[in-house]
Amino acid sequence: MQFATGHYAQIGALNLYYEIHGSGRPLVLLHGGGSTIGSTFGFILSRLAENHRLIAVELQAHGRTKDIDRPLSFEQDADDVAALLARLRIEKADIMGFSNGATTTLQIAIRHPGLVNKLVLVSTAYRRDGLQPGFFDGFANANLDMMPAQLQKAFLQVNPDRQAMQVMFERDVARMVGFKDIPDAAIQAIQAPALVMNGDQDVTRTEHALALSRLIPHARLAILPGGHDLLGNADHPDNRLPTLAVAMIDAFLE
């Protein structure tokens, strides 16, 4: 799909790219690792925009947001999103994240609870043991050839600088190598209603999604028949699962 011309917000040294679509109550969209707005939300963005004012963000080093001289962290991404919402004079929003973006969403709820109305957490990791066995094994010798072809294509469509893609890949790998568990107590303190969604063959284990839904005091859980593609996959353009996911998300946010 074609996206509208986006905007940039200067957040400290970071020139943060974002797009606004639709109307209604604000819903922030946070993409997965190695991804862009389009590669994570391209299948569902127009459907979500029918009922929400979407603020879709490309985080540091991803897509149209250039890297700056600092490592990636989920905490820093959360602070960048909070600063963007302050710039847009949005006092409260629903926040939806996928994969790495969902971990950032958790950090927004922990670090900036007053900003959060409801949370949608899709394929969320909050502990290292929540990912499938062997997930971290390949990071020691990771190289750009391991990045899925559809993610490389999506990046280069919005930023043709291959060196920038290499930097993004290295930043993402370093973040995951250093990923530390989020303490249970921090998650138990989240008071915002949350929808935890996971595929039954996802990168994040079903048991992990169940545990997360039980830690967040006001959480609901949805396990769908799929992998790491609940929101759509350009290599498998079957839109039945994303359509079901959007219907569930809309119902929860209403």
Could you report the per-residue pLDDT of 37-68, keeping only the tens digit for each? 999 999 999 999 999 999 999 999 999 999 99
Over residues 67-80, the mean pLDDT reads: 97
How far, in Å, CA of 216 to CA of 195, rounded?
Answer: 10
* pLDDT higher than threshold 60 for residue 2: no
How far, in Å, CA of 39 to CA of 86, rounded?
Answer: 26
* pLDDT higher than threshold 60 for residue 4: no
How far, in Å, CA of 228 to CA of 207, rounded?
Answer: 15
pTM of the shown model? 0.95
Determine the pLDDT at residue 236: 58
Fold of domain 19-253: Rossmann fold (3.40.50)
Determine the pLDDT at residue 66: 97
Q: In degrees rounded to 5, what are phi and psi of residue 149?
A: -60, -35
pLDDT band at residue 240 using 50, 70 and 90 as cut-offs = confident
pLDDT band at residue 103 using 50, 70 and 90 as cut-offs = very high
Q: What is the DSSP letter of 225?
A: S
How far, in Å, CA of 246 to CA of 33, rounded?
Answer: 21
Determine what percent of the chain is predicted with pLDDT higher than 70.
96
Determine the pLDDT at residue 138: 79
* pLDDT higher than threshold 60 for residue 3: no
For CA atoms 142, 148, 151, 155, give the dihedral sign.
positive
Over residues 142-159, the mean pLDDT reads: 93
Which of 76-85, 100-109, 132-141 is predicted with the least confidence, judged by mean pLDDT? 132-141
pLDDT band at residue 233 using 50, 70 and 90 as cut-offs = low
